[in-house]
Amino acid sequence: MGFRKDFLWGGAVAAHQLEGGWQEGGKGISVADVMTAGANGVPRRITDGVIEGENYPNHEAIDFYHHYKGDIELFGEMGFKAFRTSIAWTRIFPNGDEEEPNEEGLKFYDDLFDACLAQGIQPVITLSHFEMPWGIVKKYNGFTDKRVIDLFVRFAKVCFERYKGKVKYWMTFNEINNQTDWTSAHHLIQDSGILVKEGDNQEQLMYQAAINELVASARSVKAAHEIDPDMMVGCMIAFCPIYPYSCNPRDIMKAYNAMNTRYWFGDVHCTGKVPTMIEKLWERDDLHIDLSEEEKKDLLSGTVDYVG
């Protein structure tokens, strides 16, 4: 028994994991550019800007920025039919809120996607994979600010227009649900660009940022379908099983509820509605989430085409 002829077999990375070239081609500083290396028992840290003497592994990574042609030829030899990577937001809009995109950054991805297609490889492209511009983090505190919705949609539209006919498969946000662990300042800044200050209600910040991201995703999905009806736009959910401690019904229910709070993001992506249990959680925890009627309509009209 073999794979169907249209089965897309390949691999997945992110721009910040392999590109390097962090200051080349007009690229700005991203969240990943200020994330230090970690080690066993030593967590990665986010520094306030790039600090001399710190080790930022993504600054060089595997230098894919300069060697992508040879690497993609090797992918072709391996029989890859798909290559999932991301577009670094800071290559297109270095600070995140410029009026005009950076042509040199756009050209890099033109060449990258052409190289993939020449090998019979379909690019599968994520728009946000832990690479938020540091400028947006500092100016807006990431996706806690409604204005960042429009900045993301503008970035998405530029990419959809530019790579129409080259990229069919897209994803909006990578592993958006990692921030379910809202007690972790690391997850909050990595997923949503949130800088936590003393006294902040991290749960409130996470849910508001998540809703804003889901609205941004929905508006981007709708824009993609208007630009090119053949585009397929999906989401990426981090699936990590949660097991009950025992067969005691209380433990079973705790595991069940933990799964629900981890995966509700996918419900919104796919159905366009916030699950009732999440709305009840907001009430119980006295959270006040700003979600307008217009935004609720956007969520309904911008559901994804597939789940990753």
Q: What's the pLDDT score for residue 64?
A: 98
Q: What's the pLDDT score for residue 3?
A: 79
| Helix, coil or strand: residue 171 | strand
In a domain, 61, yes or no: yes
In a domain, 167, yes or no: yes
In a domain, 246, yes or no: yes
Q: What's the pLDDT score for residue 195?
A: 95
Q: What's the pLDDT score for residue 9?
A: 93
278 exposure class (CB count in 10 Å sphere: 0-12, 13-18, 19+): buried
Residue 192 in contact with residue 209, Cβ under 8 Å? yes
Q: What's the pLDDT score for residue 2?
A: 79
Supply angle C-alpha 113, 114, 116, rounded to 5: 65
In a domain, 3, yes or no: no
In a domain, 5, yes or no: no
> Which domain covers residue 206, as residue numbers?
10-307
- Residue 133: strand pairing partners: 30
- Closest by CA to 101, choosing from 174, 35, 151, is 151
Q: What's the pLDDT score for residue 13?
A: 97
DSSP conformational letter for 31: G
- Closest by CA to 234, choosing from 156, 155, 124, is 124
Ranges in the chain, pLDDT < 70: 1
Structurally, the chain folds into a number of domains equal to 1
In a domain, 140, yes or no: yes
| CATH number, domain with residue 250 | 3.20.20.80
In a domain, 2, yes or no: no
In a domain, 1, yes or no: no
Q: What's the pLDDT score for residue 260?
A: 92
Matching residue, tokens 């309509």 = 297
Q: What's the pLDDT score for residue 50?
A: 96
263 exposure class (CB count in 10 Å sphere: 0-12, 13-18, 19+): middle
Q: What's the pLDDT score for residue 5?
A: 84
Q: What's the pLDDT score for residue 252?
A: 96
